[in-house]
Amino acid sequence: MNESLRDKITKEIILTEKTYLQQLHTLDKFFSKPLLEKDFFPVHVHSAIFGELASLQHMNNELFHALTSEDGDVGKAFLHLAPFLKVYSSYAKNYQQAMNLILDWERKSEKFRTWLTGTESRPEVQSKLPSLLITPVQRVPRYRLLLAELLKHTPKDHPQYDSIAKAEEEVGHVAEHIDRSISKSESLQRVLVIQRALKNGQPNIISPGRHLLKEGILQKVSRSGNSYQARLFFLFSDVLLYTKPPAICLSSSSNSISEALDMDYKPRSLEYCCLLPLRHCSVTCVFGSGQQNLFRLKCESEDMLLFSSDKAGEWVAALKEAIHQAVRNRRTLRKESSSRKPMRRPALRKLTVRGDPEQLIALKVQKPQDENQNSNVPRTSGESPRTAKETAPKSQWSPGAFFSQLMQVQDCLTPPWLSPSKRRNAARESSSDVKKGKVSSLKSQWYAIQR
């Protein structure tokens, strides 16, 4: 019984692979190549839509040949190509962008729209372009299901059992990698939407490694405790942002608010209120249970009470997990964005970054004090200004004076996250260089500054 089921599943894997290759061939022959030749849109747009197609075709041709070989070991065939299946993650990550480009050019170009409709209705095609483009995204999860089913009906003493088990595990890792890539891509797209929606584009929430975890409306209790206001919260991996919600969210019923949050916010529709670094935050449930509606959020000087009719428990759990992860990340990676205190809207213009190039340009190297002291000495009668200038002692190079000026520049260049001990070590190293007589290069730098 198991052997017949194994054969049936093996044949299904080979048959579906053959059908999939035909779909890739159709996509290449009737869409990719003609669009490149007819020059309907720029080359970079074509590459964004069909860029991975040639790699997928080559890889799956190899897989099909391995599956139909005399050996017929399905597990070995997948193990051979499992590391290369990660190319699907790149394709899946760019799939939504490709669809957006196609829709955009359908709106902009009547010529492209007419050609696309005619091509999709050809007898040898009989498929819509979007349905062909999504087949690679669905293929790896399909591999995973078929291999799991094949392993289920393969006895443990079967010669191919170990290879099938390992192949199912490897393909599973690739499928999870693809899911994470798609999730990160969608999160990044969402962050871009939120950034465009902030009035004046402030604050800048786009940062390497930052991704969106959760968004939603919470009610914020006023400081007096007599009222509350709806606020739109965005929980990122290292910061918490809240704004005044757009009018459409406030006018929506409680049942449709979550649906309204899935919309693309209009540009400059969100008024920024406050940005909180997660590593300084703490969350406590007012009634001692994560399922209660009211909870307290503290971040240094910021202290607020928040509640929701049905999502408070989810928010408390998400906040606690994000804070814990942000603190762990802080121990190994010091991010400037996480070192700031809570920043409200009025403080946005006052935000300055230490070591800014304009600050370095404005820094003037002062001359030694003993050089300027003679400028205050009164001249004797009958002494010409030229004589007084000539009698003034020439400035002598001083390692100590130059060292103090270097410390000014070093202090300006020192990153804000450098610990006091490291700052002292840097100062001691610079001082030891001067004491050891490494003054020749310093002297040349001194004269360069004086000139």
- Two tokens, residue 78: 């997948």
Strand partners, 218: 231
Taking the CA of residue 333 as centre, how many other CA atoms within 13 Å lie in the half-sphere pointing to its CB? Answer: 11
- 199-347 CATH: 2.30.29.30
- Angle formed at CA 398 by CA 395 and CA 403, multiple of 5 degrees: 130
pLDDT at 352: 39
Residue 131 in 3-state DSSP?
Answer: helix
pLDDT at 376: 46
pLDDT at 165: 93
pLDDT at 71: 73
- Two tokens, residue 290: 């994560």
Class of domain 2-191 as given by CATH: mainly alpha
151 — phi, psi (to 5°)? -65, -35
Q: Return the domain boundaries, the chain.
A: 2-191, 199-347, 357-374+386-450
Q: Is the peptide bond before 203 cis (omega within 30 degrees of 0)?
A: yes
H or E element in which residue 361 lies: helix 357-362
pTM for the whole structure: 0.53
- Two tokens, residue 377: 């000495």
pLDDT at 426: 57
The type of residue at 95 is: Y
H or E element in which residue 408 lies: helix 399-413
Measured distance CA(407)–CA(51) in Å, rounded:
52
Measured distance CA(451)–CA(449) in Å, rounded:
5
pLDDT at 308: 82
Smallest CA-to-CA distance from 168 within 56, 76, 55, 61 is with 76
Beta strands 302-307 and 343-344, pairing class:
unpaired
One digit per residue, the tens of pLDDT, for the chain of length 451 reads 467 888 899 999 999 999 999 999 999 999 999 998 888 888 999 999 998 899 999 999 999 999 988 677 899 999 988 888 888 888 888 888 888 888 889 888 899 999 999 999 999 998 899 889 989 988 999 999 999 999 998 888 888 899 999 999 999 988 888 888 777 777 777 888 888 889 888 888 888 878 889 999 999 998 888 889 999 999 999 999 999 988 755 554 443 344 444 556 888 889 989 999 999 999 988 865 544 578 999 998 889 999 887 777 889 999 999 999 988 887 765 544 444 566 666 655 554 344 443 333 333 333 344 444 444 444 444 444 444 344 444 445 455 555 555 555 555 444 544 555 655 665 565 555 545 554 444 445 445 444 4
